[in-house]
């Protein structure tokens, strides 16, 4: 769009003598994402976003992308008329139907303003008391006081008109209203109106501004007026104002007043005259509706149908075919003694610019070739022309052609005059030709030159000639040629230009960067050192000492002091790129196509025209961008960066979108980010989002800052913090649980193993005993029964006695086996089982002996379990004791007592027998009892007083 419009315009204005140079206006309209091309209001908020109210929709712009808002997002009406940011950061939106406001990230409606719902709100203002004023189209102005009370000021209250287009407050607290019926002043509660009767050129006022000195500037339908102390002065067409229907007024950073009119943009210059900018100069539309100044100092002009125009300054003036050049491929620029600028083009001959218009020298005017490589003004003010097919020279008006006979070399790339007056003519294929005015001397590879393709020459401080060739740099000093190539430090052998700087240092620009000569060899500066582009078509130095390097992607302003500075942070600022974004006519330069004119301005020849550049006016981009994190998307869900948030372990695909708002050169913003714990060092990118595909769980701090084209970094590093929660199997409680479970399982296995082992042992014990009992017992039983059977037959008494003995013995063994099996059988493990068994035993053994047996088991809990060894040993001790009584006691009473107290048992067997035999004979039995007691950790006590008492004490467990 930006490119097309000038062509169309030119087609219309072709006949005009005066040419209009292009200024760096940048247009944003529907094709860029703006909701509509009629921009009624434009402001920048404190965060840096540009807000644009259009005929259809509200837009928020961050330099790259437009966010559109319509009634779906809460707007009363999509036709936006006015925008204003109040002191609280709320953005007030006046529309065709009342007022909305934006806060944080949503559009709100204020019910207190519902009276305005059917009014067109065309101006909004917050006064120094914090009260809000809403100017309407036909309903006067409404004041929303702090207590949300709404007051109306209209013609009934003395307003000059009910259509209020602008409201402002001066230093004294006076509120001024620009209305369709004059200027109304609200001062100390009094309303006063200024009209044509007071000297205004017109009562229909569109805009008012105050300058630093308190002068009120008034934009009317009939020109610009200034009012100070009730004195009104008007600037109109007589001062060069292109269109007197003024729509907007704004001061730039240099306190220059810019007017948006119905015929373009006009600048009130210091001399009181106007400089006008129209679509011919790059504006997209001549009818200006709105204006604002951004934090970077750029001016914005909202237009009627052309979107919004960003004007970055008048440091660039561009000339193309549209402005009168014969061809856009500009290869060379020079200036004659009358200050005319000569522009050589590749295919269009020479265009001479007298600062008003172009005159042309082509083959039609006698030039040898329209493909001009070089224009050079020599010390005699003659202009040399190097062409693809020969060489010519303008001696004043007279054109001298060097014939092929006189000068057989055709492709002339550069002509240079040394301090002795000798000319050095660089040819593309034939080497260097030295011309002293009479004789041509060829210096080529045979002579020792680095290459026959020669592109230029300069003279060093020592009078030696430095020559750029495609084989490196050659130096001719006192007839000696020294060549410098890759070995001598050049980044590339194809050298396009050489330069001697203020300090006499030799510089070379090559296809692989630039290099400077340290006296011995070249030191290269390449993209690795921060050079933005490797193809360097030229290098030159301007008055202020800056170096200018022409590349495939704009011109690089190189600050050698910063580059060689000790401070590494300054190195970032050493290279500043100037591209189309800043107003350069094209990003692709031509070889050697740079010229510094007698005012210190630079001319850059490109493939799409020539740019005239005033380095003094170019301030670059002094405001560093602040980075805003727009949103964080984790696995498809969006999170607000405003507060710390947590992500689950499987939401760890994180995308962070951010923007560093910069309007001067939005595409040259370089971001540097670092995710603590992920990125070891700062990462650079020009992308406005970064993705982290699978963040492990942990706490993250994302840091980011940005650099503008000047190399100025954000004042603050923007940070956001979030947490990726560990999966539950990584959380402490789970790990603990797992640990416990694992330990439990180990314990369980251990116990199971131990228990099964014990059980196995037990089982084997029982089985051995049972088997023994069953087999041996059965056999013994057979024997016993056999003996019984035999006794039943007629046998003599001796034999019967033996048989009885055999039977008894067998039964005794069987009983013992039975006792063993019983005692180790875990089923018989209660106290009751033990006492039952004991009683059975007593009945069997002592029953026939007429003992009075008393049991004292009162305290025992019969259901309690006894450990098998305890039961077994206690029973066997008991058996031993009862057997002793049976065999040896002469008493008739037996007392058996068992008691348990606090886990300690006492087992006492007493009989009232007094025979000494008992003591003696129990010797073996007692040892046996002691041994058994020991096995269960118990002690045995024998008392022979009052009979015979055996006491066993021990612990239950």
Q: Which residues of the shown chain bind other proteins in the complex (CB under 8 A)?
A: 773-774, 777-778, 780-782, 784-786, 788-789, 792, 807, 810-811, 814-815, 818, 821-822, 825, 827-828, 832-833, 836-837, 839-840, 842-843, 847, 853, 855, 862
Sheet strands side by side (includes 288-293): 25-28, 308-311, 299-303, 288-293
Distance, in Å, from the CA atom of 835 to the CA atom of 841, rounded to the nearest integer, reads: 10
Q: Which of 671, 675, 680 is nearest to 655 (CA)?
A: 675
Nearer to other proteins, 442 or 868 (CB): 868
**Least distance CB 784 / other proteins (angstroms):** 5
Residue with tokens 């001024």: 176
**Least distance CB 955 / other proteins (angstroms):** 26
**Least distance CB 832 / other proteins (angstroms):** 6
**Least distance CB 781 / other proteins (angstroms):** 4
Tokens of 811: 């039964």
The CB density around residue 462, as the number of other CB atoms within 10 Å, is: 9
Tell me how far CA of residue 209 lies from CA of 53, 186, 267, 292, 844, in angstroms: 21, 16, 15, 12, 130
Distance, in Å, from the CA atom of 264 to the CA atom of 286, rounded to the nearest integer, reads: 4
Nearer to other proteins, 308 or 896 (CB): 896
Nearer to other proteins, 786 or 951 (CB): 786
DSSP three-state, residue 907:
strand
Q: Are 649 and 730 in contact (CB under 8 A)?
A: yes
Paired with 141 in beta bridges are 135, 153
**Least distance CB 822 / other proteins (angstroms):** 7
**Least distance CB 801 / other proteins (angstroms):** 15
**Least distance CB 797 / other proteins (angstroms):** 17
**Least distance CB 648 / other proteins (angstroms):** 51
What is the distance, to the nearest Å, from the Cα of residue 266 to the centroid of all Cα atoms in its chain? Answer: 41
Q: Are 119 and 99 in contact (CB under 8 A)?
A: no
Nearer to other proteins, 596 or 833 (CB): 833
**Least distance CB 883 / other proteins (angstroms):** 17
Burial of 697 (0-12, 13-18, 19+ CB in 10 A): middle
Residue 10: partners with Cβ closer than 8 Å, 6 or more residues away? 280, 322, 323
Tally the C-alpha atoms within 13 A of residue 868's C-alpha that lie toward its C-beta.
17
Nearer to other proteins, 106 or 852 (CB): 852
**Least distance CB 741 / other proteins (angstroms):** 36
The continuous run of DSSP H or E covering 927 comes out as: helix 916-935
Nearer to other proteins, 573 or 825 (CB): 825
Nearer to other proteins, 311 or 822 (CB): 822
Nearer to other proteins, 713 or 875 (CB): 875
Nearer to other proteins, 753 or 789 (CB): 789
**Least distance CB 863 / other proteins (angstroms):** 9
Nearer to other proteins, 571 or 800 (CB): 800
State the Cα angle at 319 between 317 and 320, rounded to 5°. Answer: 150
Nearer to other proteins, 496 or 842 (CB): 842
- Tell me the CA end-to-end span of the chain in Å, nearest whole number: 101
**Least distance CB 840 / other proteins (angstroms):** 5
**Least distance CB 956 / other proteins (angstroms):** 21
Cα maximum dimension of the chain: 178
Nearer to other proteins, 386 or 807 (CB): 807
Q: Which of 601, 585, 584, 602 is nearest to 593 (CA)?
A: 602
Distance, in Å, from the CA atom of 144 to the CA atom of 137, rounded to the nearest integer, reads: 17
Nearer to other proteins, 455 or 821 (CB): 821
Nearer to other proteins, 115 or 854 (CB): 854
Q: Which of 523, 529, 522, 589 is nearest to 553 (CA)?
A: 589
Please give the full DSSP string across 857-905, using - where no structure is assigned: -TT--TT-B--HHHHHHHHHHHHHHHHHHHHH---SEEEEEEEEETTEE
Q: Are 617 and 627 in contact (CB under 8 A)?
A: no
**Least distance CB 799 / other proteins (angstroms):** 17
Nearer to other proteins, 357 or 832 (CB): 832
Distance, in Å, from the CA atom of 573 to the CA atom of 530, rounded to the nearest integer, reads: 10
**Least distance CB 831 / other proteins (angstroms):** 11
Q: Are 658 and 632 in contact (CB under 8 A)?
A: no
Q: Where are the alpha helices (DSSP H) in 670-792?
A: 732-771, 777-792
DSSP state of 774: I
**Least distance CB 852 / other proteins (angstroms):** 10
Q: Are 317 and 20 in contact (CB under 8 A)?
A: no
Tell me how far CA of residue 453 lies from CA of 329, 404, 657, 763, in angstroms: 21, 19, 50, 107
**Least distance CB 811 / other proteins (angstroms):** 5
State the Cα angle at 414 between 447 and 457, rounded to 5°. Answer: 55
Q: Which of 841, 871, 848 is nearest to 954 (CA)?
A: 871
Nearer to other proteins, 165 or 908 (CB): 908
Nearer to other proteins, 719 or 835 (CB): 835
Tell me how far CA of residue 592 lies from CA of 526, 603, 732, in angstroms: 19, 11, 69
**Least distance CB 815 / other proteins (angstroms):** 8
Convert 89-117 to b/e letters by CB count within 10 Å (16 or more is b).
ebbbbbbbbbbbbbeeeebeebeebeebe
Tokens of 210: 């105050």
Tokens of 909: 């067997």
Please give the full DSSP string across 112-125, using - where no structure is assigned: GGGGGTTS-EEEEE
Distance, in Å, from the CA atom of 838 to the CA atom of 860, rounded to the nearest integer, reads: 14
Nearer to other proteins, 757 or 861 (CB): 861
């Amino acid at each position: 769009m930006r490119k097309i419009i000038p062509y169309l315009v030119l087609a219309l204005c072709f006949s005009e003598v005066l040419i209009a140079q292009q200024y760096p206006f940048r247009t944003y309209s529907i094709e860029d994402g703006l909701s509509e091309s009629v921009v009624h209001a434009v402001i920048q908020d404190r965060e840096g976003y540009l807000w644009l109210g259009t005929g259809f929709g509200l837009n928020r712009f961050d330099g790259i992308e437009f966010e559109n808002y319509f009634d779906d997002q809460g707007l009363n009406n999509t036709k936006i008329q006015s925008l204003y940011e109040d002191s609280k950061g709320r953005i007030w939106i006046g529309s065709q139907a009342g007022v909305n406001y934006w806060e944080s990230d949503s559009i709100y409606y204020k019910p207190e303003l519902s009276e305005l719902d059917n009014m067109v709100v065309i101006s909004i203002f917050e006064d120094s008391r914090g009260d809000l004023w809403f100017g309407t189209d036909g309903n006067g102005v409404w004041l929303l006081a702090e207590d949300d009370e709404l007051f109306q000021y209209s013609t009934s209250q003395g307003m000059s008109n009910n259509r209020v287009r602008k409201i402002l407050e001066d230093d004294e607290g006076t509120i001024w209203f620009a209305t369709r019926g004059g200027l109304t002043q609200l001062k100390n509660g009094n309303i006063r109106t200024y009209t044509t009767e007071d000297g205004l050129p017109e009562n229909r006022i569109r805009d008012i501004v105050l300058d630093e000195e308190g002068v009120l500037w008034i934009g009317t339908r009939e020109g610009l007026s200034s009012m100070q102390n009730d004195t009104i002065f008007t600037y109109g067409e007589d001062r060069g104002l292109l269109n007197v229907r003024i729509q907007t007024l704004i001061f730039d950073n240099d306190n220059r007043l810019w007017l948006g009119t119905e015929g373009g943009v006009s600048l009130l210059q210091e001399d009181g005259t106007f400089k006008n900018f129209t679509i011919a100069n790059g504006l997209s539309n001549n009818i200006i509706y709105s204006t604002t100044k951004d934090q970077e100092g750029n001016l914005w002009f909202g237009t009627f149908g052309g979107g919004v125009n960003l004007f970055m300054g008048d440091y660039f003036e561009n000339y193309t075919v549209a402005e009168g050049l014969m061809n856009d491929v500009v290869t060379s620029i020079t200036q004659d003694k009358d200050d005319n600028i000569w522009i050589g083009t590749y295919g269009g001959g020479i265009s001479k610019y007298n600062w008003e218009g172009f005159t042309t020298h082509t083959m039609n005017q006698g030039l040898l070739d329209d493909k001009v490589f070089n224009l050079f003004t020599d010390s005699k003010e003659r202009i040399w022309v190097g062409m693809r097919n020969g060489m010519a020279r303008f001696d004043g008006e007279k054109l001298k052609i060097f014939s092929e006979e006189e000068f057989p070399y055709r492709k002339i790339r550069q002509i240079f005059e040394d301090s002795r007056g000798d000319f050095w003519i660089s040819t593309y294929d034939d080497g260097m030709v030295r011309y002293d005015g009479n004789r041509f001397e060829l210096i080529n590879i045979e002579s020792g030159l680095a290459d026959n393709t020669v592109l230029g020459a300069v003279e060093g401080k020592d009078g030696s000639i430095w020559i750029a060739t495609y084989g490196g740099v050659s130096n001719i000093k006192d007839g000696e040629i020294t060549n410098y190539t890759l070995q001598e430090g050049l980044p590339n052998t194809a050298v396009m230009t050489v330069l001697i700087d203020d300090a006499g240092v030799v510089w070379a620009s090559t296809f692989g960067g630039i290099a400077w000569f340290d006296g011995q060899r070249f030191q290269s500066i390449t993209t690795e050192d921060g050079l933005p582009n490797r193809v360097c078509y030229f290098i030159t130095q301007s008055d202020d000492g800056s170096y200018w390097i022409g590349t495939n992607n704009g011109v690089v302003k190189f600050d050698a002091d910063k580059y060689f500075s000790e401070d590494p942070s300054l190195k970032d600022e050493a290279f500043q790129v100037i591209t189309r974004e800043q107003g350069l006519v094209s990003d692709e330069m031509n070889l050697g196509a740079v010229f510094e004119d007698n005012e210190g301005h630079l001319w850059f020849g490109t493939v799409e025209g020539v740019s005239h550049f005033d380095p003094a006016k170019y301030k670059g981009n002094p405001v560093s961008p602040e980075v805003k994190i727009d949103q964080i998307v984790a696995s498809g869900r969006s999170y607000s960066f405003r507060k710390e948030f947590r992500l689950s372990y499987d939401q760890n695909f994180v995308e962070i979108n951010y923007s560093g708002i910069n309007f001067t050169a939005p595409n040259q913003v370089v971001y540097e980010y670092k995710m603590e714990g992920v990125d070891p060092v700062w990462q650079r990118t020009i992308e406005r989002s970064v993705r982290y595909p699978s963040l492990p769980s942990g706490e993250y701090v994302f840091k980011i800052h940005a650099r503008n084209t000047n190399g100025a970094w954000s004042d603050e590093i923007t940070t956001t913090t979030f947490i990726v929660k560990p999966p539950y199997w990584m959380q402490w409680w789970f790990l603990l649980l797992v640990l416990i479970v694992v330990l439990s399982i180990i314990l369980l296995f251990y116990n199971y193993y131990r228990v099964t082992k014990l059980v196995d042992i037990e089982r084997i014990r029982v089985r051995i005993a049972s088997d023994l009992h069953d087999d041996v017992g059965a056999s013994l039983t057979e024997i016993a029964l056999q003996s019984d059977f035999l006794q039943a037959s007629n046998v003599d008494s001796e034999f019967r006695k033996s048989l009885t003995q055999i039977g008894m013995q067998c039964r005794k063994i069987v009983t013992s086996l039975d006792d063993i099996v019983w005692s180790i059988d875990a089923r018989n493990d209660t106290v009751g089982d033990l006492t039952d068994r004991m009683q059975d035993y007593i009945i069997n053994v002592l029953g026939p002996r007429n003992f009075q047996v008393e049991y004292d088991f009162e305290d025992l809990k019969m259901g309690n379990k006894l450990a098998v060894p305890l039961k077994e040993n206690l029973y066997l001790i008991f058996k031993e004791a009862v057997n002793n009584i049976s065999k040896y006691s002469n008493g008739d009473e037996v007392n058996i007592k068992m008691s348990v107290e606090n886990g300690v048992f006492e087992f006492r067997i007493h009989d009232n027998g007094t025979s000494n035999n008992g003591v003696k004979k129990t010797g073996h039995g007692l040892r046996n009892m002691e041994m058994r007691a020991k096995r269960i950790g118990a002690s045995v006590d024998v008392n022979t007083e009052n009979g015979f008492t055996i006491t066993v004490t021990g612990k239950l467990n």
